[in-house]
Amino acid sequence: MPGLLTPSNDTSSSIIPYSSDSTTPTVYTLNHNLKPPTTPRLSISWSRGNSLRVTVFRSPVTTDNEPGGKVVELNLSGEDVDSDIEINNAARWRRIVYGSVSPFAHLQNKKNALAALDEFRRSVSHDGDWSKYVLQYSKEINSLLGSKKSSPTPLIEDPKTVLKVEEPSSLKAAWELLEIFYADKQSHPWIPEQLVDWLSDYDVLFSGQVPSVHLKLVEFQAELINIQEVENEPTYWQAISSALAVGWLDIVVKLLRLHGSYQLNQLGTRETENGLVEAVAVLVSKMPRMRADLPLGKLGECYNNKSDFMRAWEKWRAQITKLDCSAFWLQCSHNQTKENLKNLLQILLGNTSTVSSATCHWVELYIAHFLYIRPFTSGLESMYVLAQKCIQLKPISTPHKLMRLILGILEENTEVVLAECSRSFGPWMIAHATELLTAGSVEAEILLKEERDNLGGISIEESHRLVYAQVLSSHALTWQIAPIYLISCMKHGVGLLEILLYKQPAYHSQVLLKNIEICRMYDLDSVSSTAMKIAGVHHWKHGRKGAGVFWLQQARDEVRLNRIAQKLFDFVGKSISDESFEQWEGLIELLGSESKTVGGLEFLHKYRDFKKSLQQVQDGVFTDAARKAGEALILLMKNPSTPQRFWLPLLYDSLKLLNWRERPLLNVSQTNMLLNKLQELSVARLRPDFVEAGLPPEALSSVRVALATNLGRAILEE
């Protein structure tokens, strides 16, 4: 697999991460009574999903109930994938799998439709229409990964609730990063602001591994209930400056208004102090921001045009500087308030060291740079340089997977991005993210779509889809989805689809019907007819003759139907002359009368008709019925599909017809034909493979006599 085997420092010896402490593997014992010596054997095979089955087979050392072998089932999965709670939950994970089918298939259809047009050249990625489709695809997938902050705001908001507790998924965080950089071309001028939003949604994800502003705020919120005068607490001011540094302006303003000077009983004595706090709060909430719009509840003033923004930015900074130099500070008696407010102004003015001490890890520092120091940064190259600078200021020994992904994107290194997606987020992510990557740049598109000899002639894109399809195939509820991904693989897709379909248990009726349906959709007639044959033989072997015949008929399997016919005739010979005719009705009805599809079985249909009319003759004396029965007999005897072994029983059954009292029912030529058949039968009897019908010994002679008599009467009549 491409890009998967990157050696990492921590797990240098294992290719697939396997932590033995996560779950105890299932162990089955094998008991056998084979006598030694038996050669010990070891076999390894894939079980369902990511489970690997290791079987050890050996002879017991002692005989006291020691098992002769063991089967161990190990669950292998990527460490990161496994540790994610949201992925661990299989049902929730399948919901994502199901939901992504439609956007993926829709995008492939669009791609094929565009490819069919002549105008569609290699410049797909620059086509406006195409990027619109890709963005739509990205948004649809994104919405599957979790709702975007849609939790309803409580009617009475608790003034002391600073943060809402939510658990976003790192998968969604990663997908949004890819969307920002590769899919959402329209919003490219606002990438820095998009990253600000991104961090405010997902900073919580870093908390598990490194200290973060989010963590700081959560801790402060827990303390808040017990604090009487917040402005005296250093943690209060730290929380405010950290929130300000990463641009969570609404939180900053909310916290500032908890300041003691707002309390009614203190307003008179702390008027200047309160004025300063409010001035800072207003400045914060008026911060100019270069973006199209702001979601409800977020603060700042939007400018979507660079020159307007620049003017507003300069004006805003001038106001800050003015406040910084104001004489009111001297009148402020509360020392902590004075110092910390000044500190906040330093952040707003972009003081590098203040910003650095207010943030926790390099991504936060990076965001702070965008907000207060270099709001005009654009272009991936300069963004990458800035990121490097931030990492130097706040180094991390083992970077978080999202940090690695951000760096890969900024570095414009598609291979790193691919490897990160694959390593941290698994086959689903990479199979779906390639669509965004190829839309992102021509280089990435060439890299992903180029056919490679080391991958067996397929492209990286195809190989990832095949891997994902393989994952889908291994689960009973998702294998039906795999064909949609396989069919989008030009080189090996159809071949693997056929293998997948052949591997399904065709004897399971629901699976068989699903199989046939998939074959119908992708024109795989030979595969479905094979499945029907397997099902037919299975049913036949298990005594369900009707179902067996039905499926073999559907598969138009003449050879097997003919073989089956011979076996059925054995049954018929024994049972149909009994009164158990009703049982056969259903099967004979199923066979129908068309000779083409049923092999030799059409005989049964005619035989049934003959038997019916013969029965009517026996019930009463009706010459008309007898004449019909005679005709049916001639038809049967003439028909080449009537097996030879039935000739004598048929004639013996119709003795009554041959000896019909009122008049001969058969004419001369008909009687001659029957006599010839009888002659043929006598010759055939000499052959060793002849099957004797279980009739009384005088049967042949009595038929012969009856025919001879009939011949005589017929000649006289004519």
- Contact residues for other proteins (CB under 8 A)? 90-92, 94-95, 98, 101-102, 475-477, 480, 509, 513-514, 517, 520, 539, 542-547, 550, 553-554, 582-587, 589-590, 592, 594
Backbone angles phi, psi at 42, to 5 degrees: -125, 125
**Minimum CB separation from other proteins for residue 51, in Å?**
12
Residue 458 in 3-state DSSP?
Answer: strand
**Minimum CB separation from other proteins for residue 610, in Å?**
19
Give whichever of 255 and 604 is closer to other proteins, judged by the CB atom: 604
**Minimum CB separation from other proteins for residue 521, in Å?**
9
Token pair belonging to 547: 């179902």
Cα–Cα distance between 305 and 307 in angstroms, integer?
A: 6
Give whichever of 293 and 517 is closer to other proteins, judged by the CB atom: 517
Query: Any idea what the Cα angle at residue 473 is, between residues 472 and 479, rounded to 5°?
Result: 85
Token pair belonging to 532: 């029907």
Q: Report which DSSP code applies to 404.
A: H
Using the CB atoms, write b or e for 469-508: b if 16+ within 10 Å: bbbbbbbeebbbbbbbbbbbbebbbbebbbebbeebebbe
- Let me know: does 532 contact 554? Beta carbons within 8 Å: yes
Cα–Cα distance between 591 and 581 in angstroms, integer?
A: 15
**Minimum CB separation from other proteins for residue 518, in Å?**
10
Cα–Cα distance between 286 and 307 in angstroms, integer?
A: 18
**Minimum CB separation from other proteins for residue 567, in Å?**
13
**Minimum CB separation from other proteins for residue 587, in Å?**
4
**Residue whose C-alpha is closest to residue 377's, from 238, 195, 219:** 195
Cα–Cα distance between 373 and 662 in angstroms, integer?
A: 120
Q: Report which DSSP code applies to 154.
A: P
**Minimum CB separation from other proteins for residue 611, in Å?**
15
**Minimum CB separation from other proteins for residue 93, in Å?**
10
Residue 30 in 3-state DSSP?
Answer: strand
- Let me know: does 354 contact 378? Beta carbons within 8 Å: no
Give whichever of 90 and 490 is closer to other proteins, judged by the CB atom: 90
**Minimum CB separation from other proteins for residue 131, in Å?**
24
Cα–Cα distance between 11 and 718 in angstroms, integer?
A: 102
Cα–Cα distance between 163 and 217 in angstroms, integer?
A: 8
Give whichever of 403 and 512 is closer to other proteins, judged by the CB atom: 512
Q: Report which DSSP code applies to 77.
A: -
Query: Any idea what the Cα angle at residue 295 is, between residues 293 and 296, rounded to 5°?
Result: 125
Dihedral angle computed from the Cα positions of residues 273, 274, 280 and 284, in that order, rounded to the nearest 10 degrees: 160
Token pair belonging to 292: 């199209």
Cα–Cα distance between 18 and 21 in angstroms, integer?
A: 9
- Let me know: does 261 contact 267? Beta carbons within 8 Å: yes
Residue 436 in 3-state DSSP?
Answer: helix
**Minimum CB separation from other proteins for residue 553, in Å?**
7
**Minimum CB separation from other proteins for residue 582, in Å?**
4
Residue 332: partners with Cβ closer than 8 Å, 6 or more residues away = 272, 273, 276, 338
Give whichever of 583 and 679 is closer to other proteins, judged by the CB atom: 583
- Let me know: does 601 contact 594? Beta carbons within 8 Å: no
Beta bridge partners of 44: 54
Query: Measuring CA to CA, how many Å separate 85 from each of 33, 43, 227, 376, 526?
Result: 45, 33, 34, 38, 43
Give whichever of 326 and 593 is closer to other proteins, judged by the CB atom: 593
Give whichever of 166 and 589 is closer to other proteins, judged by the CB atom: 589
Pairing state between β 69-75 and 26-30 = antiparallel
**Residue whose C-alpha is closest to residue 104's, from 147, 146, 145, 133:** 133
**Minimum CB separation from other proteins for residue 72, in Å?**
20
**Minimum CB separation from other proteins for residue 592, in Å?**
6
Token pair belonging to 425: 């987020």
**Minimum CB separation from other proteins for residue 346, in Å?**
50
Strand positions, DSSP E, 239-334:
288-290, 301-303
**Minimum CB separation from other proteins for residue 84, in Å?**
17
Give whichever of 223 and 525 is closer to other proteins, judged by the CB atom: 525
**Minimum CB separation from other proteins for residue 649, in Å?**
20
Give whichever of 405 and 532 is closer to other proteins, judged by the CB atom: 532
- Let me know: does 701 contact 651? Beta carbons within 8 Å: no
The 3 state secondary structure assigned to 562-579 is HHHHHHHHHHHHHHCCCC
Give whichever of 441 and 554 is closer to other proteins, judged by the CB atom: 554
Q: 651: phi > 0 → left, psi -120 to 50 → alpha, else beta; which? A: alpha
